[in-house]
Chain A
Amino acid sequence: MKAKNFSFYFGIGLLSFIVLVAAFAPWLTHYDPIGQDLLHTLASPNSHHWLGTDNLGRDVLTRIIYGARIDLSIGVLAVLFPFILGTTLGLISGWRGGWFDAILMRIVDTTIAFPFYVLAIALVFVVGAGPKSIIIAISLVGWVAYCRIIRAAVLVAKELDYVHAAKLSGLPTGRILRRHILPNVISQAIVFSMSDIVLSILAIVSLGYLGLGVPIPTAEWGSMIQEGQAYILQQWWIPTIPGIMVVIVGFSLSLIGDGLVKRLNK
Chain B
Amino acid sequence: MNFLSYAGKRLLQVIPALFGISVAVFTLVHLIPGDPADVLLGQTATPARTKILHHTLGIDRPILVQYFSFLNHLFHGSLGTSFYDRLSVTSLIAGRLQASAFLLVGGILLSILISLPLAVLAASKEGAVRDQAVRVIPIIGLGMPQVWIGIELILLLGLKVKLFPVSGFGETFLEHVRSVFLPSLSIAIGLSPILIRSLRASMLDILDADFVLTARSKGLSRARVTISHVLRNAIIASVTVLGVNIAYLIGSTVIVERVFAIPGTGSLMIDAIGRRDYPIVQGVTLFFAVAVVVVNLITDLIHAALDPRVSLG
Contacts and interface: CB of A to CB of B under 8 A. Distances in A.
B152 interface: yes
A226 B147 CA distance: 9
A149 B236 CA distance: 26
A232 B154 CA distance: 9
Interface in A84-116: 106-107, 109-116
Contacts of A251: 139-140, 143
Given A243-B148, A251-B140, A210 B270 contact: yes
A131 interface: no
B32 A127 contact: yes
Contacts of B213: none
A250 interface: yes
B143 A113 contact: no
Interface in B241-259: 247-252, 254-255, 258-259
A246 B147 CA distance: 12
Interface in A222-266: 222, 225-226, 229, 232-233, 236, 239-240, 242-243, 246-251, 253-255, 258
Contacts of B252: 117
Nearest to B30: A126
Contacts of A232: 151, 154-155, 159
Q: Size range of the interface on B?
A: 35 or more
B66 to A, nearest CB: 16
Contacts of A258: 139
Contacts of B154: 229, 232
Nearest to A119: B285
B293 interface: yes
B306 interface: no
Contacts, number: 156
Contact of A116 (B17, B23, B247, B282): B247
Given A118-B251, A118-B269, A205 B148 contact: yes
Given A225-B145, A233-B159, A114 B285 contact: yes
A247 B143 contact: yes
B285 A205 contact: no
A209 interface: yes
A110 B143 contact: no
Secondary structure type dominating chain B contacts: helix
Nearest to B146: A206
Contacts of B289: 113-115, 118-119
Contact of B147 (A209, A236, A240, A250): A209
B285 A116 contact: no
A116 B251 contact: yes
Nearest to A207: B255
B235 interface: no
B123 interface: no
Contacts of A202: 143, 145-146
A122 interface: yes
B45 interface: no
Given A114-B289, A118-B289, A122-B281, 15 more contacts: A106-B20, A110-B20, A114-B288, A115-B248, A117-B251, A122-B269, A125-B273, A198-B142, A198-B143, A225-B151, A233-B155, A239-B151, A246-B144, A246-B148, A250-B140
30 contacts: A106-B16, A112-B247, A113-B21, A114-B24, A114-B285, A115-B247, A115-B248, A115-B250, A115-B288, A115-B289, A115-B292, A117-B254, A117-B255, A118-B289, A119-B285, A121-B269, A122-B282, A127-B32, A205-B145, A210-B255, A226-B147, A229-B259, A233-B159, A240-B151, A243-B148, A246-B143, A246-B148, A250-B140, A254-B139, A254-B143
Interface of B: 16-17, 20-21, 23-24, 28-29, 31-33, 39, 138-140, 142-149, 151-152, 154-155, 159, 247-252, 254-255, 258-259, 269-270, 273-274, 281-282, 284-285, 288-290, 292-293
